[in-house]
Chain A
Amino acid sequence: MATIYIDNTPFEVPTGKNLLEVCLSLGQDLPYFCWHPAMGSVGACRQCAVKVYKDENDTKGKLFMSCMEQVRDGMRISIVDPEAKEFRAHIIGWLMTNHPHDCAVCDEGGACHLQDMTVMTGHNYRNYTFDKRTYINQYLGPFLNHEMNRCIQCYRCVRYYKDYAGGKDLDVFAAHNHLYFGRAEDGVLESEFSGNLAEVCPTGVFTDKTLKQHYTRKWDLTMAASVCHHCSLGCNITAGERYGTLRNITNRYNGEVNGYFLCDRGRFGYEHVNSVSRIRKSLVRSNLPEATDKYTALQTVVQLMRQGRVIGIGSPRASLESNFMLKTLVGEDNFHHGVSDAEHDLTELSLKILKESDARTPSLREVEKADAVFILGEDLTNTAPMLALAVRQAVRQEPLLEQVSEAKIPVWQDAAVRELVQSEKGPLFIAVPTATKLDELATQTYFADPDAIARLGFAVANIIYPESPGVRGLKNNDLHLAQQIADALMKAKNPVIISGTSSGNEAIVKAAANIANALVAKEKSAGIVLTLPTSNSMGLAMLGGHRLQSAFEAVENGYADTVIIVESDLYRLASEGAVTNFLKSCKKVIVLDYLHSQTTEHADVLLAAGAFSEADGTLINNEGRAQRFYQVYPTIEDIQESWRWLGELGTIVAHDQISWWHGYDDILSAIVKEHPEMKGIEMVTPPSDFRIAGQKIPREPHRFSGRTAMRANINVSEPKPAEDPDSPLSYTMEGYRGQPPSAMIPFFWAPGWNSNQSVNKYQQEVGGHLKGGDPGIRLIEPKPEHKFSYSAAVPEKFEPMDGHLFILPLHHIFGSEELSAQAAAIQERIPEPYIAINTDDALRMKLDEGQLMPFAIDGNLYQLPVKLSTTIASGTAGLPVGLPGVKFAELPAWAILNRELQWKPQHQTTF
């Protein structure tokens, strides 16, 4: 700790930081542009000037850029010094000489860092009388809008895009005052993290294009804390609504999970909520018209439940509450998981490993700090994108720790650090079936079939810790690689092993667990990260339940005849024939969902469930972190959360437990009572009767407009605002105006800070944890003195089969996930279905790129264009998972090749 004097007031501050960070952490208002807590300082914009004095007798002082100046003990600085203030006002004045007169039509307006800083410095009149510079804009794809005139040349965009996120296609062009930030030519931005440019850019050069289609100012949005539903990482998001539709997703800072950034799937996948295939009314098929009100629908379901023997199918994309409610309603024995059987096993295995492992599962922030990473069988960019971004930061750790600390350069001196480090990277080993975007960072990549990957993993574990079972018959090359990986992991202080369920191979996950535990046995603080298929896969696995197959069998055997399906499209989970057969043999099918799908077509009663923005609930992410998402806006019509539908059903049938639950909090305590290992989820957020100074927390900013006109076209008499019984948040702008507890911050705002940069005011220290701790409670921690039992399930070597290909699942960030694939912007980026095969195999089969290859998996016929791959192992092939138009197959699986296969074009139903 050091003592510094800001305007003659002493402050205790941590050493090693720069002055700007320290001033902001102390709550001072100091304007800045080019500095970003995640990216460090480059001193490009000259905006954060302060006066620094030699000693207490120095009255003159010197102007310093605070972002470039390290804190020293006894330092005396002044922020309010007139000369410093005038300097900052002049800098803004110069930055604004070419800034267009656009605020009224600019999407950034009202949440603009440049606006905030201009007001903060007091610059208010343009003295420059000459002409303004202009630029031609570029088309950057469906996610971002480009308006280059507004640029103030702070370089944040390229520093983020190239240096932080590893993008290649955004750069700075031209020279002197003609700098141009864009692509070499018009085209879609390739990076999966491009959406963050909208938040990184301090002004409106890059703005959210999906928001532009239904533009709303930040101050007009009804917002609430939410959690991303598009992968298992559980990034924190803020969702905003106006006029009944969801308008945008912005990053909600969580120091342990996503930090300052989101992936494009998370940021732009929200439009499924507004999609045309939404279920907005409950349907009873036997009635005419089918669309009906809530009470008729409930009565019908109750009748069906009383007549039939009911089983339930839960879902990994539904909240913990909905699944628990279903489990209670139908009974533990009749509760099945709406996941494919392979995923069911893998998720259970992952949970078991996390529970029994001596290695801890790190949060994303901890992965960023890892100094050696080994990835087994996961294409992270496509299955857990933000984890890939964290790995990108992790490869910088070792050089940072070694060279930079040796050279005595502070790590926030970004330009100097990058100059010193050059292209030096820490150890990253990737063993995957086919090329991934992280390969360019890897020390070594290993492209092989899943069994070979698992064998390599087992071999590494065995080398590190001989008690872990060894592998017989490993080739010399592979043995050498295993040795190299083991050495690198043993050299590191915080190695992290990353694997997951997307490969569909249990042996890989077991091998990863062996390595992590072997490292722990050697007294390393090793971590293991396992990615899971869906947002609440972990929660569903922790609740327990039977497989989907046993649900099919229960109906087939006549054990049950009525099924309640909660938020699942069974056609994505099992083969078409089996699902159709199952749904047909059920006497009655009751479906609760928010998007129409092939499954909802078969529903006798369809209850309109709330999408993520219309529901309260808890998700448990892949590290076992329980996080709450709040309902963003009151629902119109008869849409409500699945757990509320099920709760009402339970109350009507006088269920002995459900009838006693009177609200959201009761469900949480019931879950904890039933599942003691989930203790803590009731404390993720304050209870619904929580108040600050007797007031609720408003979801709307104090400048929210149009309250007395929004609904005036329907009726000039305004209705009473909707009430939220489930949370301490109100649907209005009235309530407590201070900072709420960190788990329920509806939006970031501080006086003078309208943009998302106001998050500074909510953090304990800039870039650190939120005040009051980061949201979410981890439910799984390694138990001390537990002994991990190493798996001995080393697979045999993979043997290709003649006339067959072993089909591996390939995931795509855009398209493989069910919900985001319904969002219009994402749909533009979904690739066409294909089958990836090895170039040698293609040559042998006389197939060329783009030619159609017919094959059959488990009796299902496919005919897809060939995509040649040099990396995928011979004898295997890659089939994209979940893309619209590709039928479900339980992967990995053998495919029979037959050029004579009769393939007749079938009508593809896509929603």
Chain B
Amino acid sequence: MYQYDDFDRNFLQERVAQYRDQTDRYLAGEIPDDVFQQLRLRNGLYIQRLAPMLRIAVPYGTLNATQLRKLASISRDYDKGYGHLSTRQNMQLNWPELEEVPDILAELADVNMHAIQTSGSCVRNVTTDQFAGVAADEWSDARPYAEMLRQWSTYHPEFEWLPRKFKIALNGAEEDRAAIAVHDIGIQLKRGPVGETVFDIYVGGGLGRTPAIGARIREDLPEQYLLTYVEAILRVYNRYGRRDNKYKARIKILVKAMTPATFGEKVDAEWAIIKDNPQVLTKEEVERITRGFAPPAYPLLADASQQLADQRLASPAFNRWVEQNVALHKQPNYAIVTLSTKATGIPPGDVTDVQMEAVADWSERFGFGEIRISHEQNFVLPDVPMHDLAELYELAAAEGLASANQGLLTDVICCPGGDYCSLANAKSIPVAEELLQRFDDYDYLHDLGPLDLNISGCMNACGHHHVGHIGILGVDKRGDEFYQISLGGNATNDASIGKIVGPSFGRDEVVGVVERLMDVFIDYRAEGETFLDCYRRVGMEPFKDRVYAEPMTVSPSASAG
């Protein structure tokens, strides 16, 4: 991963001192509430329903064992012994004290971590494929470019006070695991004619109240112009994005109002003037950053396929886990393992200090001390020797991190919802919990195949409900919690926004609705067809008809919450 130098370390130290001073002045009554709010947000600190929430940056979801151990100790010393993996690949603490945040930041800085720009109307954590650098289907590693963008956007003098938050994602693989189509800027890496890296640039995607798929405004952007082109986009947005209504302030609204073609022309006109300014990436700088992401020296391993086949035969549970949670690695005899946080009784994405320390240990024992966080809120170990899979599985199972559900119905993406978040209209965690309880038969889940079910507790769509094959949105109806269901969303290649099925449901009906949707899918699917493909072929009607066919009978277990 990227290696901090003296510049990076000094920057963080000064930033911690600066934030400590800001906190002191706020507590002394010298900074008004509305101003301090904007300052603390730019450092990831929200004031939530029950307590502050601190969002710690995990740039493009990559961290090392030392950093994860620090997160474990911080969650133990300053919080309640757990953290939450967010859909921007960050970690959130739900119970820190405002007064102690400067101390937490100082501890984070000791391991080259921070909370800079994890909130506020500025460029947020740049995200990418959680399998970047190791995925078998990757043609270019996006992490170095994500790091260049992180550095460039950190404390940018002109773009720290944008109309609204700004999210950038990159993808360098065949399968888009970074959801670039629903980002303010999505960057697709490609290979140019002589093998060099070039970029396709998409703008104006996003979720929230007005979901939109990004439009491509530039093809084959040469590598050296990455920063100057993004600068041109942000300047146009900063100047012309709406500031009168926060719900119309994202770049997607501006792109739509101007049309993508006109927006692109405006960007090109700006870029023509600045394209060769001093932010043009030099060969040396690209090499300096890329060096940190060079593949580790993989020891050559003996072929473990026979051993693995025998182990899978011997244990159905292990077999299911390998089938679902182990992905192909670039390197022979290595594998990428997803450690699912989605187990019954646990809010999706929540991990304890003990689990964090265990994952840190495994990353060293079964890899090179590196861990990833996926936007689906799971941990990933990127470099596990095949012959160690069975041992890792046993250890992970003992820590509750071996649910064999990666990419299945119960691999729910879920925001903290009304249990924690002051923006939420409805709770989301109890809905996820009921789903996990009801759909606990692995064979059934596996038969249903790949299925993204995403839950958001409000329009802000932190749970990405618009791009779930099934999306669930919490809405408030005269003080009661209701849930709107949508179908056909997709966050990866061929991205789409889900369509609302119809009138919303009470909380005790939601799981029953999902069951009926699955029944329709099973009735209509063709051989080998996924839920999304089936929906796209047969359309909304059969699903809608069944869901509203007769009154939902509520089972006693589901109505309890």
**Genuine A/B complex:** no
